[in-house]
Each structure stands twice: as structure tokens, then as C-alpha cells.
Structure 1
Amino acid sequence: MAAVVRTRLSRSVMGRLRLAAQGLSGPGFGSVPAAVRGMTAMQAQDLQASLWAVGQRVRDSRVADVRAALDRGEVVRSWPMRGTLHLLAPEDLRWVLDITSGRLIKGLAGRHRELGISAADIDAATEAALLRVSGGSAASRAELFRAFEQSGQSTAGQRGIHLLGVLCQQGLLVQGPLAGNQQLVVAFDDWITTSRRLGRQEGIAEWLLRYLFSHGPATERDFAWWSGIPVTETRAALAAVREKLVELEFEGTSYWLSPQTAALLDGGVPGQRSVLALPAFDEYLLGYTDRSIALPAHHADKIVPGGNGVFKKTIVAGGEVIGTWSAAAKGRRGAVVPEPFDDVNGLRPAARKSFELQAAKYRRFLGLEDTGGA
């Protein structure tokens, strides 16, 4: 039976446990591939934000390190779940797609009918795409879309991106090396030479366990939303792996986490005075269906204005989101500006100093300047 912890908990403590699990407090991860593998999957719809998300979890890393990992195929970016791009370890992508792609593609059937995409159209796009990138070649999105057009497949009105998405979800294509701020498209089997194979039940159980180790404390519903796995299958997977987890009861709900993260409760959970400048769409906030532990409900609209799905950059202090931040355009030495929720008192002196160190860390990550601190 899994250990059940009934200790005095608060939202701050729960949030700081998540910071530790995600490598945002403590030593973090030792390399870019280790961070992505350890996080299981990281939201990467916004490429630039995802680079900083990795950078925050790898001590002394630079944007060039993350870009190099993408260029070498040590980290890959594709559409494995929720119809959005994520970073994954290359050996994990195929078995995750085996679990998720059928449901994802079925869920897009209505939109594909609107766009006039049939099975025959997908076959034609497949032939054109693989001909274009065969033999280790790579193509920009524009070049791939031209290949679609030449095969008789219109790319207008989002038709091109949907064709590309389906071919990636089917494990035929994957985004490969970077060309500036865009990724080139390559053949999956040329780019990813080592892939694990897991059965559906085994795969969901491993995925759930890794999610709870990297995101816990979290609930089964958090994972079901995050992964797109039905709750019934999530519960079956939890029954298979619960002996490897610790259960926390908080406000009448069961949360699950790794024994290593739970052990922090014995000596006091670190990070009470930590301040972080996290990117937009970071897993610390986006990785859960219920975000109220880190983000007070009355401030939610300040992070996702109007519920439009576009997440702002966040300032996190002691596990709680206390504001947003912005970075100035190029040419101004990467000025980083805090925008706290408390627009009367702003950040307290200690928090402001910590934020300045974070700003310096962000500038160093981008290579904008060599500054001490952080």
C-alpha cells in the first residue's frame, strides 16, 4: 500500500514541492537532455519560451546549449498530446504517439472535414513529404508546403499545418534542426534511430509514474488532462504504480508524488523565499488542470487574459504566482521588467533583489550580457 502523508500542508508548501519535482529549486537537472527526459514532456508551442523553460531547470545553461540539443536530435519537438507542441526525449516520442495519436486524429475529424482533408489527401501528402525529405534531407515548413501544393494538396486556410500535424502524429515526420527561429522538418526514422516500444497499458503506467515524479504533487485528473488519457485508463495505471508513490491528502483530494519529493517534508520544503521568472506556458503552471495551488483564482485572468489560451510569463515567489514580467525588444540590453499583481506596493525589497538576479540569469542565458549573480 502506498504511503499516505497527513501532515500540515498549505498551498505554498504544495507549490514548493512542485518546484522541487520540476527541477526549479534545488540542484535541477545536469544537462538539457536530462531535463527534458526528467520532465517527460514540456510544453513547447512557443519555441523561445520552451528554450528558457529548459534553461531554468539546467544550472548555468545557455540558449545555445538548448538549441544544440535540438540540432543534434538529443531533444525533439512534436505534437504528442493536446494538439500542441512539446519537447520530449527522442526515444520516448514513438511510444507516446502510439498511445495518443489515434485519439488526437479522431478528435480532428470534424476540422479535417471542414478543410477538405480525406484519407487519400493524407496519403498524397505523405508521399510528397517523404519524397522531399528522404535520405536525410530536411525542409523548411515553406518548402514542405510547396511539396504539398505540387502534389495537388492546398495548404491554404490552415490546411497545410493540419497535414503536417497529422504526418507528425503518425510518426512519419518530426521537427529537426533549427534554422534561425524555425525548425526544419525531417523524416522520423532518419532523425530518431532509437525508439522504445511499449504496449498501451505499460506505456500509460510508465507515463503516469514519470509525470507524478516530475510534476507531483498532482492528481489523477491532472494527468488525464495533461496527457489526454481517459480517466478510466489513468485510474487503472495508478493502481499499477501506486506502490512507488506517496499519497498526500490536501483539502479533501488525493495528490501523488515521488518518495524523493515527499521526503522534503521531513526537513522543511525549500524555496520559501525563492523568486523565479518563468517563461510563458511553463509546465509549473500549465502542467495541471487545476492551477489554483500556484495561481489564486482571482488573478487567473491576468495570466491568461480572457481565457484565450495564451499564457503570460510569470513571477513565482515561494511557490505562488505573484505577477508577470516582460522583456524589452532587442537593442535595449534585454531589459526585464516585473509587473507584480500588487500594483500599489510592488515587489518587496528582498523579492525585488531576487527578481533582479533572475533577470540577470535570463540575460546571461540569452547571451545578452555577462552579469554576476543568480
Structure 2
Amino acid sequence: MSQIAQLRLQTQQLVNPQFSNPKELVSWMGAIQAQDATMAKWAVGIRLDKANLNAIDAALEKGEILRMHVMRPMWHYVTAEDARWMIRLSAERIKAANASYAKSIGRDISENLFLKCCKQIERILEGNRHLTKQEIEEELQREGLIVNEHDITRFLLFAETEGIVCSGADKGNKQTYALLEERIAPAKELHRDEALAQLALRYFKSHSPASLNDFVWWSGLTMGDARKAISFIESELLTECIASQDYFIHESCQPPAKSTSSLHFLPPFDEYLISYKDRSAVLASEHQHKAFNNWGTFYPVIAHKGKIVGNWKKAIKKKELTLETSFFEPATSVAPKLMEQAKKKYKAFLLAGF
């Protein structure tokens, strides 16, 4: 097993997990990309010492964990305590991306209209109401503010960056929105430099070894801000050159005493892959198209001894859940016991919610 893979399995809690509480795990990771709302729960579960879907659902229901757009304009899980400072740190970049996308689809929305819709959304959700995107859209349509099918997505994203809305309690299998101030308790405000330092600390504790470019990619920060963030915690970072690349490793990183065999069924958009700009340490270039495509969609993959070696998917056969696997290289050899343990862990996690 490569040194990078060995260390990342440890820091990302994929081997020897240290947490049983979903909120504590998300806090450790800083943020967990949650593009796929269902499978993102497994991204949390696979990193707990006891994977339990019910515990994750409860944390989301109570608002201990929120699903929001932070850093890059993508869905992430963050803890309630981290939500505000992460929003403030990334708001302007997300607003710019939001406006740019609106223009690309022929909808140039003025800031005045964005702000007007935010006030309406705030009014609609007052009183601890948790409404789906469709329910909010219907009320905005009655006000004559929705004229394009893409508007509601743009307005809600803007309202997130303004710190007005956050994820609410699910209605069935649909996410809702709620008012941030009604959903979560007040938290200590971080100044920008404190927020930059905190973001760097979370990333390098939970994602080491990682390069400057990896951190820029994950955080969405400018190169200048990323360097500044790292400078605030440089006394806690070790620098090591591995395969002609400089990596930062947080001083708290404790690798296993020896390499051990491991097999993980990773969900799509998992942090083990998506949180690094350079993925060559764990994924061969000739197989990248099987792990993710050119449009940024990541697939469920199998990690064996830290290397991404195949794909997996759920299937229902004769009313029973089965997991189908395929390997990039036909000659890939995996111990049947490891395969069975990985399948059993996922099935136990999934069935806990039924």
C-alpha cells in the first residue's frame, strides 16, 4: 500500500474509525460533499465505528448536521456550529457562480430581485415552517416572482449565501428548507482570518497528506487565501516530498503501525476521491473515466488497500438487496472474506433505516 493511501485511509476515518457520533465525524471532516442526498449518508456511515443510518437521519432531523452549499457551490454536510462561518467564507464566490450560471441559461437576475425574493422566502418560512423547494416555488409564483423554471434554484442558493435558509427536516424523501436563525442556535462569530485557519486545520487533519492545490480545489479558496490559511497553521504541519510532490501532513496524523488489507464500497462523490485535485496516488489515470466523468459526476467505487480498483451498485433480485461489483482489471484478486465484510457493513447500515 502506498504511503499516501495508507495515511489517507487513516485520517479520513476509513480504517480504525474514532467516531460513533455522526455530528462529531462531520465536524472532523470539516465538510463532506453531499451531492447525492441518499448516498451521502453512507459517506458518513462508512467512517463511523458502527454504521447506523438511523443515527444519521436523527442528526439531520434535529439540525445537528445540515446539507448546504458551502465552499465550492456544491452540496455539503456541515455541522450546525460550522454553518455560519463557512457560509460567510464562501458566500461571494458562490454568488458569483450562481449569477454566472443564471446568465449562461439566458436569465440575468438582478441583485434587487434576488434580495426581494429572499425577503419573500423569509416571510414564507417564518414560524419554523419546513417547506420543500416545490412548495416555496408555488408561493413565489403566486407573488409573480418566478418566471423561469430555473429561478427557484437560483433564489434558494442566494438565500443560503445570505445566511437566511438552511436545510430543514425531510418530508418523506424530499429535502426541505427552513430559516437558519430558527433552525440552529447562535454560535461564536469567527473573523475571516480565524475562519481561514479553521478551514485549513479541519482539512489537513482529516485529509492528510494533501498538497496546496488539493486544498485550493476542496475549499474553493483563491490561491492567495489558501496560502494564507495554511500559513496560520504552518507550525502544525509537516512537509514531505512524495513522488516529486510536496504534501502537507498534520502533526496529529497517526498512521497504522503496519499496512493492513482493507476493502471499502465508497459512495459517489466520496471525499476519498473528490477532495483532492490530484487523485493519481489512489487511482490509475487509465481508469479515471470509470470513477468519474468529464462533467464532474462521480460513481460508486471500490477501494482495495487504498487503491480505487472497481465499481459497485445496488440491485434488487427476488426482492432481496444485492450488491453487484466489477473490477477495472480482470486479474484483481480480493479475499472473499474482505468482500463479504464490506457488503455486510453496507447492508447493515442501509437496513437500519427500515
Q: How does 1:61-72 map to 2 (within 5 A)?
A: 61-72=51-62
Partner of 2:261: 273
Partner of 2:38: 48
- In the TM superposition, what is the alpha-carbon distance from 1:260 to its structure 2 partner? 2.8
- In the TM superposition, what is the alpha-carbon distance from 1:124 to its structure 2 partner? 2.3
Give the counterpart letter for 1:360 in structure 2.
Answer: K
Partner of 2:164: 172
Partner of 1:93: 83
Q: Is the 8 A contact 1:145 1:155 kept in 2?
A: no
Please list every run of 5 or more consecutive structure 2 residues that lacks an aligned counterpart in the other structure: none
Q: Cα RMSD over matched residues?
A: 1.9
- In the TM superposition, what is the alpha-carbon distance from 1:330 to its structure 2 partner? 8.0
Partner of 2:138: 146
Matched, 1:163 2:148: no
Matched, 1:335 2:322: yes
Give the counterpart letter for 1:283 in structure 2.
Answer: E
Partner of 2:349: 365
Q: Is the 8 A contact 1:155 1:161 kept in 2?
A: no
Partner of 1:214: 206
For residues 205 and 325 of structure 2, the distance between their equivalents in structure 1, rounded to whole angstroms, comes to 31
Partner of 1:189: 181
- In the TM superposition, what is the alpha-carbon distance from 1:65 to its structure 2 partner? 1.2
Residue 116 and residue 152 in structure 1: after superposition, are their counterparts in 2 closer, same or farther (change >3 A)? farther
For residues 231 and 237 of structure 1, the distance between their equivalents in structure 2, rounded to whole angstroms, comes to 10
Matched, 1:133 2:125: yes
Partner of 1:348: 333
Q: Is the 8 A contact 1:333 1:369 kept in 2?
A: no
Which residue of 233, 236, 250 corresponds with 1:241? Answer: 233
Q: Is the 8 A contact 1:303 1:312 kept in 2?
A: yes
Partner of 1:286: 274
Structure-1-length-normalised TM-score: 0.89
For residues 353 and 87 of structure 2, the distance between their equivalents in structure 1, rounded to whole angstroms, comes to 40
SS at match of 1:325: strand
For residues 115 and 355 of structure 1, the distance between their equivalents in structure 2, rounded to whole angstroms, comes to 49
- In the TM superposition, what is the alpha-carbon distance from 1:349 to its structure 2 partner? 4.8
- In the TM superposition, what is the alpha-carbon distance from 1:107 to its structure 2 partner? 3.0
For residues 186 and 305 of structure 2, the distance between their equivalents in structure 1, rounded to whole angstroms, comes to 40
1:78-115 residue CA offsets vs partner (Å, 9 max, x unmatched): 00121110000111111111111012212333333432
Residue 24 and residue 223 in structure 1: after superposition, are their counterparts in 2 closer, same or farther (change >3 A)? same
Partner of 1:311: 298
Q: Is the 8 A contact 2:199 2:229 kept in 1?
A: no
For residues 170 and 299 of structure 1, the distance between their equivalents in structure 2, rounded to whole angstroms, comes to 40
Matched, 1:12 2:2: yes
1:273-293 residue CA offsets vs partner (Å, 9 max, x unmatched): 111111111000001111111
For residues 63 and 273 of structure 2, the distance between their equivalents in structure 1, rounded to whole angstroms, comes to 27
Residue 200 and residue 336 in structure 1: after superposition, are their counterparts in 2 closer, same or farther (change >3 A)? same
For residues 109 and 55 of structure 1, the distance between their equivalents in structure 2, rounded to whole angstroms, comes to 35
Partner of 1:300: 288
- In the TM superposition, what is the alpha-carbon distance from 1:239 to its structure 2 partner? 1.9
Give the counterpart letter for 2:102 in structure 1.
Answer: H
Greater shift in the superposed pair: 83-92 or 322-331: 322-331
SS at match of 2:320: coil
